[in-house]
Amino acid sequence: MPTAGGVTPRIRLGRRWFNLLWLLPLGFAILLACVAAAKGLRNMPSVQRFIAAYPGTDLRADRGDYLGIPAWARWSHFFNLFLMVFILRSGLQILSDHPRLYWSRHCTPGREWFRFQKPVPAEPLWTAKQDSISLPRHVGLPGIRHSIGLARWWHLGVNLLWLLNGLVFYVLLFATPQWKRLVPTSWTVFPNAASVAIQYLSLDWPKEHGWVAYNGLQLLAYFVTVFIAAPLALVTGLGMSPALSTRFRRISRVASIQTARSLHFLVFCWFLLFIVIHVSLVFSTGLLTNLNRIGPGRDGNSWLGFWVFIGWMGVVIVGWAVATPFTLRHPRVVQRAGRMLIGGLLRWFEHVDLRPGEYGEKDISPYFWHNGRYPDSTEYRILQAGGFAGYRLRVGGLVAHPVGLSLEELRALPAHTQITQHFCIQGWSGVAKWTGVSMATICDLVEPDPRAKWVVFYSLGEGADGGTYYDAHPVEHMRGRLTMLAYDMNDRPLSFGHGAPLRLRNELELGFKQVKWIKAVEFVADFSDIGSGYGGYNQDHEFFGYRQPL
Ligand SMILES: Nc1nc2c(c(=O)[nH]1)N[C@H]1C(S)=C(S)[C@@H](COP(=O)(O)O)O[C@H]1N2
Ligand SMILES: [Mo]
């Protein structure tokens, strides 16, 4: 897609939008005011007594048990920061594919609380893809516009490694007395943190005991990062899965995908803020001493830690620099490696049997985003002009009775209605009522052969780069209660934009698999000889995965 820039991030307060760039001067002014206030406070005898009583660090009696930082913690700290580079960059890339955040699953334009894109234009057929923006190549991963397929392999694949690293860290932390360094065990952590805040802000810094114990503010910041932000990143990440959200309906009713997405972004902001402050303080509170402790694990101010740090940073910078060029040169490698890392997990998320009835009429979204490339072939135009009277849905392949069904014949089959939520891979969602024919009914009609493992849905429309849009679904999903061919949306015949005359709904999967303007359905043993052989148009052209329940 051609490059397209966004706008500086802004947030909505009521009806007004505020440019977040104002936070820079505003934050600086607030910081100056806080420094002035802290300096004033420190001249007060009561505050001086408070600081004397709570100097900042709780030096426990058993502190000798957990002196210093063991090698496993230092290595896991390094792996963590190395992996974080890819996680943060690819996460930002994913966000740029729909640069708007909402608190409601409806994603109504103008109701977002945060955006770094212009307001949604009034064009009725404006698509989410048109709405996506580019990032600088070395900020986003891989930076170019609508590269979410590749960004997701990075994000989810590296996340798995990051979670494993975190798991090992948790286990070793609690298997040793080291947990006492990160978990506050006394309420004095709060007055100590307040005292440290005053001391930092008054620019007369507290005495550091980093080899033995962290100060109150540090302890709280580390605790929040390790035990709140990191797990929240995982939970909110999973909260964006259509399969899991529909399975855990009671949770997703209250906290929808958009709550999950917004919180996931706030966790991202916390991580960024933490990194900035953490690194600034590492540099300004005794660089050599700090680097010795976290690098070679020594107490002292030799240059050894500095050189270890330079080595680590070299690895980080090389990883940072090669990630985008490598991804753009070898996208198939990224796609395959990603699938190797998390393909099994995605497959496992598909093992849920979804039930209808999660949403009611009142939950239907007032605005439902459009997406994809609209059909423009003469074949489609002629069908559309004739009110689809000449339309025949062909169902064939490995089946006992291939059929060609007119819309009338489809409407004469037992009708199925479901009110469900659509999850676009780009991040927007919406609830709609779909009426049509269950794929189970179609299966009863055509009787698939046991050799059929996949069902391919072909569109009358082309994909973004030309060629038939299609997508393959596992045959087991065809018996699922929420897999259907819809001819009505919200009690009206499907509109042109939403897929007239027929579209697929398979609520286990993301939006791109819901083929619109369906022409034919084919039961096949495998999809390797269809298109480029990756299981769908987006898999062939945009490096998505063929199982996308997350
Ligand atoms: N034929 C076809 N079907 C398609 C697409 C497309 O480009 N072509 N886009 C997909 C994507 S990415 C999404 S999110 C949904 C959007 O459906 P909607 O426009 O009804 O919201 O359709 C899917 N089906
Ligand atoms: Mo999508």
For the CA of 375, the closest atom of ligand 1 is 1
Token pair of 242 as six digits:
């259509």
Task: Tell me how far the alpha carbon of residue 371 lies from the centroid of ligand 1, in angstroms.
Answer: 5
pLDDT of res. 353: 75
d(Cα 7, Cα 18) in Å, to the nearest integer?
12
pLDDT in single tens digits along all 550 residues of the chain:
899 999 999 999 999 999 999 999 999 999 999 999 999 999 999 999 999 999 999 998 998 899 999 999 999 999 999 999 999 999 999 999 999 999 999 999 999 999 999 999 999 999 999 999 999 999 999 999 999 999 999 999 999 999 999 999 999 999 999 999 999 999 999 999 999 999 999 999 999 999 999 999 999 999 999 999 999 999 999 999 999 998 888 898 889 999 999 999 999 999 999 999 999 999 999 999 999 999 999 999 999 999 999 999 999 999 999 999 999 999 999 999 999 999 999 999 998 878 876 799 999 999 999 999 999 999 999 999 999 999 999 999 999 999 999 999 999 999 999 999 999 999 999 999 999 999 999 999 999 999 999 999 999 999 999 999 999 999 999 999 999 999 999 999 999 999 999 999 999 999 999 999 999 999 999 999 999 999 999 999 999 999 999 9
- Go through the domains of the chain in sequence order and give each one's CATH number: 20-118+127-349 (no CATH), 357-541 (3.90.420.10)
Q: What is the 334 CA–ligand 1 centroid distance (Å)?
A: 24
Contact 225, 278 (CB under 8 A): no
Distance CA 543, CA 335 (A): 6
This model's pTM is above 0.85: yes
307-313 LR contacts (CB < 8 Å, sep 24+): 312/78, 312/81, 312/82
Q: Residue 357: what pLDDT? A: 67
Q: Find the residues whose C-beta lies inside 6 A of ligand 1.
A: 368-373, 424, 459, 461, 469, 497-499, 511-512, 514-517
- The conformation of residue 363, written as its DSSP 8-state character, comes to G
Q: Using CA atoms, how far apart are residues 288 and 237, in angstroms rounded to an integer? A: 37
Under DSSP, the state recorded for 118 is P
- The pLDDT of residue 358 is 75
**Cα separations (Å) of 382 from 176, 246, 358, 373, 379?**
73, 38, 38, 18, 5
| Contact indicator for 183, 40 with CB cutoff of 8 Å | no
Residues 6+ away with beta carbon under 8 Å from 397: 452, 456, 521, 522, 523, 524
- What is the spatial distance between Cα 22 and Cα 29, in angstroms, rounded to a whole number? 11
The minimum-distance atom of ligand 1 relative to the CA of 516 is 3
Q: Which atom of ligand 1 is nearest to the CA of 504?
A: 24
Q: Which of 421, 428, 516 to mutate to test the pocket of ligand 1 (most atoms within 8 A of CB)?
A: 516
255's CB contacts (< 8 A; 6+ apart) are 239
Tell me the C-alpha to C-alpha distance, in Å, between residue 201 and each of 28, 37, 39, 63.
13, 8, 8, 28
Q: What is the pLDDT of residue 355?
A: 80
Nearest-atom index, ligand 1, CA of 459? 1
Judged by DSSP in three states, 459 sits in: strand
Mutation choice for ligand 1 from 462, 512, 538, 543, CB with most ligand atoms inside 8 A:
512
The answer to whether the beta carbons of residues 504 and 513 sit under 8 Å apart is yes
Nearest-10 Cα torsion for 69, 72, 73, 78: 120
The length of the chain in residues reads 550
The rounded Å distance from CA 491 to ligand 2 centre is 23
Q: Is 85 helix (H, G, I), strand (E, B) or coil?
A: helix
- Helix or strand or coil: residue 469? strand
SS3 237: helix
